[in-house]
Amino acid sequence: MGTLKSLHPLSLHIIIGTLFARTATFMAIPFLSIYLTKVKGISPVEAGAIIGISAFVSLFSGFIGGHLSDRFGRKRIMLASIWVWAFVFIGFAIAEHVFVFFLLNALNGICRSFFEPSSRALLSDVTKQEQKLLVFNLRYAAINVGAAIGPLLGLKMGSASSTSAFWLTAIIYILYGLSLSLMFHRKQYTIASPSGETKEHITLRKACYVLIHDKVFFFAIIGMTLGVAGYSQFSSTIPQYLSSAPYFQNGVELFSYLIVVNAVTVLVAQYPVSRIGKFYSPIVSIMLGTVTVGSGLFLFGLVHQPWLLVIAVVIFTIGEVMMFTMNDLFIDQIANPEMKGLYFGAMSFTSIGNAFGPTLGGFFISVFGVSGGGYLFGSLALLSFLGFPFLFYVSRLLKVEKQHIEYSL
């Protein structure tokens, strides 16, 4: 408790706000496709396009939002995006036409792409070096708690057939925006530039040039993207496999239990795993995470008993935690202080793994079939394993360039 009290008030505010905002979002968005098809009568193809546009625009707008936060300040970008975000959910509640829903979910993705890098860069700005590991882990925990609680609340509220979750989410975002405005306008929370001087305005062209020529960042993105592609199988290939494989009587119910195991393991494993970032470095944790995720995937194809699947999910989830809890700390380590927003935003490129991972998983199912689980998940495990050499090369580059920074709780 004493450690939490020592954190910057803005850090605590953003972490708590993240918990409520993510809970609210997960009350509504997971049910959006059902709402569109069942209530609004939109075709499944159109509903799929509406859902997919958010991830598509996020892929390209993340680094733009991060750059704008460097150029115009974290406060302006965060407040502008959160006010638009609130009106997006009001729009979901009152919209009637396909094009309007398409536009609203595109704005939903843009708002997330602008707000997230800005808030993470702000956390880096205001947090003492020795507390950054704790702060980034608390934020990750808040996201996971929100992702676990939100859908349950949405289910109770009947989000698939009513607009109540949209309205409530909009209200929560409005309250979050008001509270952030109050915090920002308090004099003692003013954020100064890292050097205490006026920062040089870095154009988007120059920012892109820096990213392209940063070998550490470039190879890290490749390695992390491959790891994300392996991780994406949990929500795509694994449920298809469990629901169709002849070894499991009720694969859908079994997968729902495995989701719970995944959520609990994330919360339990987060603190012990974070110690790797303290005693070694974030890149070591991410590197080992790709191997651990791949090991969990490979085990899925070898076992046919539910309790062994639980073990596979625990291993898989530990790898997930090792990869994702250290991403923010890694970016904080390698980014120029005046370009942190850009670097945090450019991490959205790893979402490419979420795009081609499920597609590749579906291809392997068509090739090997659900009865060839060993070959199926062995191939997918290799996908995650391939991230290791790229990240290992990054760790070598960091040592050569002497960019390694010791972190502690």
Name every residue whose Cβ is closer than 8 Å to that of residue 346 and which is 6 or more positions away in sequence.
62, 63, 66, 211, 217, 221
- Residue 201: what pLDDT? 62
Cβ count within 10 A of residue 52:
13
Helix, strand, coil share (%) of the chain residues, nearest 5: 85, 0, 15
Q: Are 317 and 265 in contact (CB under 8 A)?
A: yes
Residue ranges in the chain whose pLDDT is less than 50? 187, 190, 192-198, 403-409
Strand, coil or helix: 73 = coil
Name every residue whose Cβ is closer than 8 Å to that of residue 127 and which is 6 or more positions away in sequence.
7, 8, 11, 135
Give dist(CA 39, CA 34) in Å, integer: 8
Enter the tokens of residue 225: 């993207």
Give dist(CA 314, CA 293) in Å, integer: 10
Q: Report the greatest alpha carbon distance in the chain.
A: 66
Give dist(CA 196, CA 265) in Å, integer: 42
- Residue 194: what pLDDT? 43
Give dist(CA 13, CA 1) in Å, integer: 15
Supply the pTM of this predicted model: 0.78
